[in-house]
Amino acid sequence: MRNLAPAIKIASPAALRLERSGRGARLILGGDWIVAEAARVDKELRALSFGEANEIVIDGSAVELLDSAGAWLILRTKRDLEAKHATVQGPVLPERYRTLFEKMEAECIAPPVTHPHPLSFEEFLARIGRGTMHVLRQGYDMTGFLGRIAVETSEAVVAPRRELPFPAFIQQIEETGLTALPIVGMLAFLLGVVLAYQGADQLKRFDAQIYTIDFLGVGFLRELGGLVTAIIIAGRSGSAFTAQIGTMRVNEETDAMQTIGLNIAEILVLPRVLGLVVALPLLTFFADVVGIIGGMVMTYFDLGITIPAFMRELEGAITLKTLLVGLVKAPVFAFVIAMVGCFEGMRVERNAASVGKLTTRSVVESIFLIIALDAGFSVLFSVLGI
């Protein structure tokens, strides 16, 4: 098909010339710097070599026509040179085009260039101070949110003002628990395989491969099963809580709910907290079982330990207390994940970028708190002799 668009007539093709003298250079521009010439001029600009020149003058006084495409190419060239720590003068342009170039430069259409410089001691201290204040303020706000959720939960259970949102509670158990079974099971099985293989590889040196089963059972039931499951759920469900509530804030749905007199914490937060508190212990138990099965499969093929022998050794290595130590941490992890996810969701501003930023922050904070709490539980159980 014939192209019916009118061709752009170029009276004077765009031209550029580089003159170098020692550590100085002059980039001379001329002709029509318009969109029709942009592709060709772009290649020529990128092919320029300024060598060791660090004092550069951009002379565009001979430019006859200039549009936004040509102005952007000149501005980009200037910014690229500045990024290489060169001193750039100009560009010198005809009077009628200076306004266009200055407007583009002021609006930062070309990416801004920052010159990296070492931090002074005062700036270093100021950065530490700002970070410390942010952490303290975040902790203070989160503690206040924790208190609010604790009060709402107590009132909902002891003296409910209205019927508990039971359908939403069941839905959250399904979304956070039932639909998470495949990913939790697959990762727990693979982790059990890895632990059994690595444990057997090390214990072979002492001819004590049978104790791989003890290592697997105690390690998985007390620590790894609950910890890995909580981290998976923090990345999966905690981020979902933040994104869901954050999107509702962006769409002003939460404002509408408050306008008609609904309690946001009771409607949005409470079902998620209670649903995850119920679902995570069940997921942890499931992960424990599947992880041990993965280890059993590995020991069977790698060490030749039969299933009855595996079960007898496992029975002697673990007790009900071993299982309960791992399960008792799960509701605490669940409460923290749900609280952080909903807290960050409530802090989302009225823009989409804030949703992504706070969703990421929710996952990071949840994982940090989970690991910190797990370390605290380990110290506590050690002190109590559990």
Note the Cα 183 to chain centre separation in Å: 19
Assign 4 a pLDDT band (cuts: 50, 70, 90).
Answer: very low
Q: How far is CA 270 from CA 90, 238, 265, 282, 333, in A?
A: 61, 14, 6, 19, 16
How confident is the model over 164-205, as pLDDT tens digits?
A: 677 888 888 888 888 999 999 999 999 999 988 888 888 888
Percent of the chain at pLDDT exceeding 90? 21
pLDDT at 111 over 50: no
How confident is the model over 115-163, as pLDDT tens digits?
A: 455 667 788 888 888 889 988 888 888 888 888 877 777 776 676 655 5
Q: How far is CA 296 from CA 197, 299, 302, 303, 308, in A?
A: 10, 5, 10, 10, 10
254: tokens are 């939460």
Confidence (pLDDT) at 227: 92
pLDDT at 8 over 60: no
Does 335 or 209 have the greater pLDDT score? 335
Distance CA 72, CA 104 (A): 7
Cis-peptide, bond into residue 91, ω within 30° of zero: yes
DSSP one-letter code for 12: S
How confident is the model over 310-338, as pLDDT tens digits?
A: 899 888 888 888 889 889 999 999 999 99
Which long-range CB contacts under 8 A does 70-73 form with residues at least 24 apart? 70/14, 70/32, 70/33, 70/34, 70/35, 70/37, 70/38, 70/41, 71/33, 71/97, 71/100, 71/101, 71/104, 72/104, 72/109, 72/110, 73/33, 73/38, 73/41, 73/42, 73/45
Does 88 or 279 have the greater pLDDT score? 279
Give the domain ranges of the chain. 15-106, 165-384
Percent of the chain at pLDDT exceeding 70? 92
Query: What is the pTM for the complete model shown?
Result: 0.66
Question: What CATH number should be reported for the domain whose range is 15-106?
Answer: 3.30.750.24
The pLDDT of 57-63, averaged and rounded, is 86
The b/e string for 52-77 (b: 16+ C-beta within 10 A; e otherwise) is ebeebbbbbeebebbbebbbbbbbbb
What's the N-to-C CA distance of the chain in angstroms? 82
